[in-house]
């Protein structure tokens, strides 16, 4: 049994050829043209490709007109979105992006399938998944399995004080430096060969990983400052100048976080309330730390866009995830307090959550500050425009978590210990999405519409023809009319076997009643020894337009391998796939299912 992983793919001398696992070169040779044609036939792929060509061709023309040398032909993206393009200002590029993202036809998806695996869960020697060889190898696995979607959780920098949850990050725009591939920095000559400590292959040991990578990344920054070639220095400086206000605010925020060793609500008043003179003084005092934080974002963005290009070349689209809320201890809240419901001391006046239901007598208290939607409307939703644009620069498709919150949201007084005494408040509704689509064009969005969803929420979803979610592991298998039952899936359904917030399929199956199992067997017509494959076969054969399976489900792993237990603070977001588990046998079996169901 052959495994596909970092140690299983030999890089040839010039790093331009790759020796893939047995049979994969043949498959690429024989099916590459067919795969390219399938990609060209997909409305989403056409939309993404046309946007890239539109921006690059217009930039090319502007640079030629102004006498700047060009390094590529029109239509060839030689840099990532937002990256350096001499002779064209950021304001001009933003305008071009918005013009080119005007609707070019229906954003309706066609039948595709893929795997849900967060970046942190990839195998590799750094104790956590990274954007280099581990990520590229997983893309190779997906291509071998004839899958066209890779979905992740949010990729922002996580906060250890909230359990390293990707849904409560330090920034809505920044990338997670823990995902930076260190070997690439060694190859650039900025970092000496690494003496890595041994890490758990199955779980991310966040404290150890963070300590190891912070030291290595600071060494790499020192190496960059001392030895980087002039072109790299220029590239970095251009990125910093063009990234926009979010990078300046984020880098200063992280520098102050370290300087004061605490959350921003506990900082001295002058920093907390953003006194201009004080911030200027801190920018000078903490200049090196601020530059380091910018360096990490530049490296992350470089590596992410290289991965996106690698995936695109192999017919794999990246599917992201956008939490509706941001954490209190985030650069977004500190830099934009007027956009949130805060009190005079800049503490949250209200926090987000959901009311009591059959699963919880006291409801859920999430703790994030809620938005002041009147302030966002007055600012013409500029913060959201920038947030959506950042997602479009990194992902081909993205999911919106807790979509209901845009129709109406549940706010709880921040001094309450439970969610019992909260209230529902009307959200921005269609106004937000009308504004965003007027600027950016039709959005390739999946909406998380699980839980208590009202007719008003469905109406908002349907007004923009956003596909909603169904989860097989949440189905009543004795009721074909129930929304999660595969018989109820439509061409506007995105179907999941399970999600990061549910048990794995094998774990869920083990907990089913005899009656539910009997109903399930009537539907899937499979054997009970292979429930995960039975579910994959069933949802892949359904009317759902997109289908995704968690990596744990694909491997038949039980409850011990869950990624998250909602309502618990410890032990989440740690699971990793072992290198030996992503085998050719698994890839071929998934490919066969996809071919039979016209998803390959």
Alpha carbon distance 573, 128 (integer Å) = 11
Q: Among candidates 505, 596, 595, which has minimal Cα distance to 551? A: 505
3-state secondary structure of 56: helix
CB of 388 closer than 8 Å to CB of 440: yes
Cα torsion 115, 97, 43, 32: sign? negative
Alpha carbon distance 212, 205 (integer Å) = 11
Alpha carbon distance 384, 388 (integer Å) = 6
Q: Among candidates 328, 362, 364, which has minimal Cα distance to 347? A: 328
Q: Among candidates 498, 423, 500, 493, which has minimal Cα distance to 461? A: 493
Q: Among candidates 410, 264, 252, which has minimal Cα distance to 324? A: 410
CB of 112 closer than 8 Å to CB of 149: yes
Alpha carbon distance 250, 169 (integer Å) = 12
Give me the active site residues, please.
401, 448, 501
By the 10 Å C-beta count (0-12 exposed, 13-18 middle, 19+ buried), 102 is classed as middle
Assign residue 55 a region: left if phi > 0, alpha if psi is -120 to 50, beta otherwise? alpha
* b/e 378-406 (16+ beta carbons within 10 angstroms → b): eeebebbbbbbbbbbbbbbbbbbbbbbbb
């Amino acid at each position: 049994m052959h495994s596909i992983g970092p140690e299983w793919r030999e890089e040839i001398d010039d790093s331009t050829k790759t020796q893939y696992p047995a049979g994969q070169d043949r498959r690429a040779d024989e099916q590459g043209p067919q795969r390219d044609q399938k990609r060209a036939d997909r409305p989403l792929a056409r939309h993404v490709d046309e946007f890239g060509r539109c921006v690059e061709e217009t930039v090319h023309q502007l640079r030629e007109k102004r006498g700047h040398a060009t390094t590529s032909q029109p239509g060839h993206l030689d840099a990532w979105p937002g990256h350096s393009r001499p002779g064209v200002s950021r304001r001009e590029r933003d305008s071009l992006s918005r013009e080119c993202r005007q609707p070019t036809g229906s954003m309706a998806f066609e039948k595709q399938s893929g795997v849900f695996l967060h970046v942190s869960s990839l195998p590799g020697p750094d104790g956590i998944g990274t954007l280099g060889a581990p990520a590229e190898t997983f893309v190779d696995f997906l291509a071998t399995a004839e899958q066209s979607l890779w979905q992740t959780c949010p990729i922002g920098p996580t906060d250890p004080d909230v359990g390293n949850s990707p849904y409560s990050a330090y920034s809505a725009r920044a990338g997670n430096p823990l995902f930076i591939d260190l070997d690439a920095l060694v190859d650039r000559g900025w970092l000496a060969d690494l003496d890595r400590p041994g890490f758990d292959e199955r779980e991310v040991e966040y404290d150890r990983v963070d300590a190891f990578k912070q030291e290595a990344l600071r060494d790499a920054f020192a190496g960059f400052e001392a030895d980087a070639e002039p072109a790299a220095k220029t590239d970095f400086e251009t990125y910093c100048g063009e990234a926009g206000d979010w990078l300046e605010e984020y880098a200063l925020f992280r520098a102050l976080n370290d300087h004061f060793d605490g959350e921003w609500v506990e900082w001295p008043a002058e920093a907390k309330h953003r006194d201009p003179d004080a911030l200027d003084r801190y920018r000078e005092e903490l200049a090196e730390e601020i530059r380091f934080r910018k360096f990490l974002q530049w490296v992350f963005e470089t590596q992410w866009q290289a991965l996106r290009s690698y995936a695109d070349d192999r017919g794999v689209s990246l599917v992201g995830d956008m939490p509706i809320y941001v954490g209190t201890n985030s650069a977004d809240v500190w830099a934009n307090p007027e956009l949130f419901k805060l009190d005079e001391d800049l503490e949250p006046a209200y926090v987000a959550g959901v009311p009591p239901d059959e699963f919880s007598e006291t409801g859920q208290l999430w703790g994030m500050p809620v938005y002041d939607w009147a302030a966002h409307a007055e600012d013409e939703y500029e913060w959201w425009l920038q947030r959506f644009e950042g997602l479009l620069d990194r992902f081909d498709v993205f999911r919106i978590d807790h979509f209901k919150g845009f129709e109406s949201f549940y706010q709880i007084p921040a001094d309450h210990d439970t969610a019992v005494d909260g209230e529902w408040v009307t959200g921005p509704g269609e106004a937000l999405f009308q504004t965003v689509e007027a600027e950016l064009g039709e959005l390739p969005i999946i909406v998380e519409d699980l839980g208590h969803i009202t007719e008003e929420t469905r109406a908002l979803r349907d007004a923009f023809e956003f596909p909603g979610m169904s989860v097989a592991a949440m189905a009543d298998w004795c009721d074909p009319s129930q929304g999660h039952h595969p018989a109820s899936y439509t061409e506007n359904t995105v179907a999941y076997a399970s999600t990061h917030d549910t048990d794995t399929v094998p774990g869920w199956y083990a907990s089913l009643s005899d009656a539910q199992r009997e109903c399930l067997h009537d539907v899937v017509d499979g054997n009970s020894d292979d429930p995960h494959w039975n579910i994959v076969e069933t949802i892949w054969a359904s009317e759902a337009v997109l289908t995704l399976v968690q990596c744990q489900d694909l491997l038949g792993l039980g409850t011990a391998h869950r990624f998250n237990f909602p309502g618990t603070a410890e032990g989440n977001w740690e699971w990793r796939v072992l290198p030996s588990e992503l085998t050719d046998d698994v890839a071929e079996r998934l490919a066969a299912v996809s071919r039979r169901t016209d998803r390959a």
